[in-house]
Chain A
Amino acid sequence: MLGVVVGVMALMVALGLMTGLQSEIRSKILGATAHISIFRSGNEPFDNYRDVVAKARQVPRVLGAAPTVYGKGLMMTAGGSAVATMKGVVPSQERTVTDLAAQVEEGQLDALDHVAEGSLPPVLLGRDLASTLGVGVGDVVSVTSPNGRLSPYGWCRA
């Protein structure tokens, strides 16, 4: 009798843990990225992304859509360097797609709206990325991106 009780209890606990873990991981992953990403083939940027976002919103049962630009860059500070995946977002639209606003620990997501002429553009860093770089709010990071530079002959690619 006791064996059956312990056995069933262990099974229930294990199942509960697995289910909880699964839904926890799923919600975290889906909270950090969109459920569906739309890319243009050939890695080309969209000619008119606003149309694409508007069309995506018209699809039945789509609750939100937001434009994004992804890129990789090498981040450097006095304290260290790290390769970062940078995501360009529009805060008001990003809210309809991910939980980013709730995940901001220090500062505000809306800080990305304030791009003032003459001052450096804002960046929100992942917590562990910030600690790798040894920076906090108000510090400056340099980003080196490996894209071409414009010249009178077009884009330089060496």
Chain B
Amino acid sequence: MVPSVKKFRVAGTVHSGLYEFDAQWAYIPLAVAQRLFTEGSLVKMDLAEINVAGATPSDKILMIDEALERLEAEDPEKARIVVLKFFGGLTNQEVAETLGTTERTIERHWAFAKAWLFRAIRETN
């Protein structure tokens, strides 16, 4: 396994009176724990299920936007697919028609772009 390392700043201490808890437990924000511990399931949640118009925390959108800018510098076509699918809400078929390519290519590029973006977002964290 490839371990991931994350830094935290101590915001306080907890004293429950039970040594087993006080010597072992640490509390972190739920969203951070999700990113740290729940593996691949969050890729889908972050990119495919985010509703931009809904009550999504703005920092998530900013993070994706920042990562997208870097993807654009590296591979403009894939970044365009992400913009159309993610921000535009188009289906694979619609994106394929817009870009004049096949649906299969879009699927392949979308899978790559998702993995790339997820890694980029994790690294900025």
Contacts and interface: CB of A to CB of B under 8 A. Distances in A.
Interface of A: 28-29, 31-32, 44-45, 47, 67-71, 73, 75, 82-90, 99-100, 103-109, 111-113, 115, 117, 119-130, 132, 135-152, 154-158
Contact of A86 (B10, B11, B26, B112): B26
A111 B37 contact: no
Interface residues of B, number: 50
Chain A residues touching B, majority SS? mixed
6 contacts: A86-B28, A103-B15, A109-B12, A112-B28, A121-B28, A124-B14
A112 B8 CA distance: 11
Q: Chain B contact residues: over half helix, strand or loop, or mixed?
A: mixed
A155 B118 CA distance: 12
Given A123-B26, A126-B26, A152 B32 contact: no
Interface of B: 1-19, 21-34, 36-41, 43, 59, 62-63, 111-112, 115-116, 118-119, 122
Given A71-B37, A135-B10, A83 B29 contact: no
